Amino acid sequence: MQVCVLGVPMDLGADRRGVDIGASALRYAGLKDSLQNLGYVVHDQGNISVAQPESKPEGHPRLKYLEPIVHASEELAILVTEALQKGEFPLVLGGDHSIALGSISGVARVHKDIGVLWIDAHADFNTEETTPSGNIHGMILAALAGLGNERLTHLGGWSPKLSTATIAIVGARSLDREEQSLLRSQHIHVFTMSDIDQRGISAIIREALAVVSPHDNPIHLSLDMDALDPQEAPGVGTPVRGGLSYREAHLVMEMISDTHRLISMDVVEVNPILDRQNTTAQLAVELILSALGKKIL
């Protein structure tokens, strides 16, 4: 298989700076060589152009940097679609989680029945009405499900991109109050860290995979590195204590790989400024390899 690597230095969707160099950190951690050693042909297209916050007005306080985020997302969606049409596996490197608007829109244009496994400490299921911060990285999954501002929901000209029935959020432990209500009203499957503690990660992932791929649907994996405990992944934009352990995260990736239905992936929120010796980027590369088939034996 050919892997198409797309870097998205997006630092517009959140308040905390530094995730725009996350893609570079992942490359520095040996991503390309590691994928090649696993047997993949790697086509690294470099980074798309994304405006810096200093160069653009913030805009509406409940939809910060809306226009430049939409512009970059439109470009990314086109590149992801092109990669899939060429038979490549799009691997999108963030950047904050707002990049998933473009990556998943690009996948959904090709695969109408795509299921999404959203591994994250946060649900990112706010809208401009519910957001406490105005940060768009917290609205992306809702927008993909057709909820929120039309500039987000109708990226590429259609909405929704995803069926709420085939979305599973895993590892959630920091949800806003109104966001909780919205998740319940839309019947989104949310597997919290409490669920994982009570039932174990393997049972949770089996159930989550059944949600996102009930009829062998293709799967997109959106991995936010803050899903892991900060002791494992210190270099993230919005760390929350009590996350996935190192082995739990690898088991998740291995179980996804075993389905043979993973067709695309994004990895987001690596913040080298807050990291220790590129630890988080190195871990992210390990998890990518596990998702793409690396085994212990």
Q: What is the pLDDT of residues 168-197, one digit of tens each?
A: 999 999 999 999 999 999 999 999 999 999
Whole-model pTM above 0.75? yes
Residue 113 annotated in active site: no
In the chain, the percentage of residues whose pLDDT exceeds 70 is 100
Residue of 128, 179, 195, 226 with catalytic role: 226
Interatomic CA distance for residues 12 and 246, integer angstroms: 29
Q: What are the residue ranges spanned by the domains of the chain?
A: 2-291
Residues paired with 91 in a beta bridge: 5, 265
Interatomic CA distance for residues 180 and 139, integer angstroms: 13
Interatomic CA distance for residues 247 and 28, integer angstroms: 23
State whether CATH 3.40.50.300 applies to domain 2-291.
Answer: no
Confidence at 296, pLDDT banded by 50, 70, 90: confident
Residue 97 annotated in active site: yes
Residue 7: what residue type?
G
Q: What is the mean pLDDT of residues 72-90?
A: 98
Residue 187 annotated in active site: no
Helix (H, G, I), strand (E, B) or coil at 138: helix
Interatomic CA distance for residues 10 and 73, integer angstroms: 10
Helix (H, G, I), strand (E, B) or coil at 130: coil
CA dihedral 124, 231, 279, 220 (to 10 degrees): -30
